[in-house]
Amino acid sequence: MAETQTKTTNLIAELRQLESLIDQVSGTLESQRELLRRRRLAMPPTIIDSLNKLKGDFKRLEKNVLGEQTELRQLRALSEMSTRITNSLDVDTVLQETMELVIVLTQAERGYVILQNEDSGELEFRISSEGGLMGRGMSGGERPQISMSVVNQVIETGEPLLADNAYQDERLANNQSIINFVLRSVLCVPLRYKGRTTGVVYVDNRLVSGIFTERELNLMMAFANTAAVAIVNASMYSRAEQILAEITRVKELMDNIFSSVGSGIIAIDVNDCVHTFNRAAGEILEVPPDAAVGFAVDHVMQSTALQLDEHLALVKENNSEQSLELSAELPRRGQVALALSLSPLKDRNDMTQGITLVMDDVTHLHEHETTISAMKRILPEGMVDQINEIANIEMGGVRREVTCLFADVRPWTTLPDVTASEKLRLLNQYQAVATACIHECGGIIDKYMGNEVMALFNTQLNSEQNHAQQALECALLMRDRFVDLYAKMSIDPRPHYYIIGMYTGVATLGNVGSFQRREFTALGHSINTAKRVQENANRGSITIGQETLDHIRDNSNGSLAYEFRPRDAIVGKGLSVAMKAYEVFRS
């Protein structure tokens, strides 16, 4: 990078030296033209005009070189920002730092990340950076003086807005905040995740017009795409931690209730007559012990509407325990939920002499059903069922079979010879297609790596028995969607651009970070092997390892609608022996 900057600096210096020489030649010619005029001679008029035109060409070339250097610097900075944002456990701190860098790269004065509250719909300033010439941030909770009309417009339309002279822009003529705050250059782009606008990134300059161009717009869009994923992931894990805390609180409450109330104990003889009925059972069923002991169990349970005949008969017939939950209608308490455990009551000769019934009042647990339902709407499918398991994973992680998919959506060498910002715009189109396919097929995006994306199937967050076939369907869906994209862009790659590889094996999955903030990730030989498969795949192919093929065949319920074509074995770093591999097509 330093070498490139040096070459660019030398080129600009040479251009300016040539401009100086042209000025000197022009001055000399002007003097000569005056001498010729005195001698009644004339100099061809096109000479001076040609020199001026040449000087103008040098000026434009210098401007283009500076522009390309700026774009290259922005692209490198964006790559570094994306890596820091996606790999950091402290998203807010990194976003604050990267926002300050965005302000420098775009020559903005101020910058903000503004999110829309999912519950209230109100706009909240997540990140604020006001280090420009007009002074640092606002005092004590005061809202920044920016155009909220622009922010609301971008959120409603989902389209970016660039105004190089907002104060005189006809589109914003009725925008009172533009007039009141005397805003000049304004750039606002949406934060979008899964097709939904969650907020905006807003920068402006109150002093200078024409600061922002399409180059800055593309930079901001790329930054916003990365920031949107990072913010949503951070929010998801934050909610998971909050729900884990709520589950812990509920469990502690349960323990306290059970320890203070106790379980109801009822003993029934072979004739279904109650001979033991403790105080806790009386409190639960609202039946005094003296009104239960010596009476038939049907008579005791008559006022509670508990139907136990069938369950008591099964315990006697099978001579085994039974656990169940039943509802009872009590005169004063109304509908209650009871957890029952029925066990054979045996004598020293192992002969059944009756039944022991242990009863717990679990009505209070049903009060949390609304909370659990809300959790299932917020968290990914299946996460609630495994949330205790995930919370108890130690920082070292656990080993679990997964299928890891790597996709190179568009190799750098295949991108057209266009500006860096245009290359970035094209790459974002391909990554958007891959991301949508992964989400539709139930995968989890582990990370983006420039033109590549890594996805995991069968983690604790998206458990699936037939995960290898699930990942293969995701790859085939990518192929179909990329073909649609090629048609939309009017290109015929032949072969296709994408390079997709996957591998199935055991990986270590666990939490990285601290108790307050954790991130779920996967490491291990199988993850590295998946990358090797992708690196050795042909352009326009979907390649799988032998283990993935075996898993698909072992877990299929019938004939498979795929064609597996053997290809050369894969060798490379981390592989002690050559690995069989196959290219996959729909049959």
Q: Are 402 and 459 in contact (CB under 8 A)?
A: yes
Tens digits of per-residue pLDDT, 17-66?
666 776 676 677 667 777 777 776 666 767 767 767 766 666 666 666 55
Q: Are residues 581 and 442 in the same domain?
A: yes
Q: Are residues 421 and 517 in the same domain?
A: yes
Query: Among 46, 71, 96, which residue terminates a domain?
Result: 71
Q: Are residues 407 and 553 in the same domain?
A: yes
More confident residue, 220 or 585: 585
458: domain CATH number is 3.30.70.1230
Q: Are residues 120 and 95 in the same domain?
A: yes
Beta pairing partners, 346: 352
pLDDT more than 90, % of the chain: 18
In a domain, 141, yes or no: no
In a domain, 508, yes or no: yes
Residue 335 has pLDDT above 70, yes or no: yes
Q: Are 154 and 160 in contact (CB under 8 A)?
A: yes
Q: What is the pLDDT of residue 255?
A: 45
Q: Are residues 433 and 568 in the same domain?
A: yes
In a domain, 244, yes or no: no
Q: Which residue has the tokens 């968290």?
A: 379
In a domain, 377, yes or no: no
Q: What is the pLDDT of residue 174?
A: 55
In a domain, 163, yes or no: yes
Residue 183 has pLDDT above 50, yes or no: yes
Tell me how far apart the alpha carbons of residues 584 and 540 are, in angstroms, rounded to a whole number.
Answer: 11
Query: Among 44, 71, 98, which residue terminates a domain?
Result: 71
Q: Are residues 300 and 206 in the same domain?
A: no
Q: What is the pLDDT of residue 165?
A: 61
Structure tokens at 105: 């790269």
CA distances from 41 to 32, 38, 432 (A): 10, 7, 70
Q: Are residues 473 and 573 in the same domain?
A: yes
174: domain CATH number is 3.30.450.40
Q: Are residues 121 and 176 in the same domain?
A: yes
Q: Are residues 448 and 565 in the same domain?
A: yes
Q: What is the pLDDT of residue 181?
A: 57
Q: Which value, in Å, is the radius of gyration of the alpha carbons in the chain?
A: 35
Beta pairing partners, 116: 123
Q: Are 464 and 380 in contact (CB under 8 A)?
A: no
Tens digits of per-residue pLDDT, 124-176?
888 888 754 333 444 445 677 787 888 888 888 889 888 766 545 555 555 55
Residue 377 has pLDDT above 50, yes or no: no
Q: Are 497 and 411 in contact (CB under 8 A)?
A: yes
Structure tokens at 531: 């990358």
Query: Among 233, 248, 280, which residue terminates a domain?
Result: 233
Overall domain count for the chain: 4
Q: What is the pLDDT of residue 92?
A: 72
Looking at the chain, the number of H-run helices and the number of E-run strands are 16, 18
Q: Which of 57-71, 313-327, 483-497 has the lowest mean pLDDT?
A: 57-71
In a domain, 457, yes or no: yes
What pLDDT band is residue 292 in, cutting at 50, 70 and 90? confident
What pLDDT band is residue 494 in, cutting at 50, 70 and 90? confident
Q: What is the pLDDT of residue 472?
A: 96
Q: Are residues 117 and 227 in the same domain?
A: yes
Q: Which of 192-201, 296-305, 309-318 has the lowest mean pLDDT?
A: 296-305
Residue 382 has pLDDT above 50, yes or no: no
Q: Which of 204-213, 397-406, 418-427 has the lowest mean pLDDT?
A: 204-213
What pLDDT band is residue 4 in, cutting at 50, 70 and 90? low
In DSSP notation, 28-61 reads HHHHHHHHHHHTT----THHHHHHHHHHHHHHHH
What pLDDT band is residue 473 in, cutting at 50, 70 and 90? very high
Query: Quick one: which of 580, 587, 510 has its CA closest to 548?
Result: 580
In a domain, 100, yes or no: yes
Q: What is the pLDDT of residue 72?
A: 57
Q: Whole domain around residue 53: which residue ranges?
A: 2-71
Q: Are residues 6 and 45 in the same domain?
A: yes
Q: What is the pLDDT of residue 265?
A: 82
Q: What is the pLDDT of residue 380?
A: 38
Pairing of the two strands 274-277 and 110-116:
unpaired
Tell me how far apart the alpha carbons of residues 578 and 545 are, in angstroms, rounded to a whole number.
Answer: 11
> What is the 3-state composition of the chain as percent helix, strand, coil, each rounded to the nearest 5?
50, 25, 25
Q: What is the pLDDT of residue 363?
A: 77
313: domain CATH number is 3.30.450.20
Q: Are residues 67 and 92 in the same domain?
A: no
In DSSP notation, 273-335 reads BEEEE-HHHHHHHT--GGGTTTSBHHHHHGGGT---HHHHHHHHHHT--EEEEEEEEETTTEE
In a domain, 415, yes or no: yes
Share the mean pLDDT of the chain. Answer: 77
In DSSP notation, 335-365 reads EEEEEEEEEEEE-TTS-EEEEEEEEEE-HHH
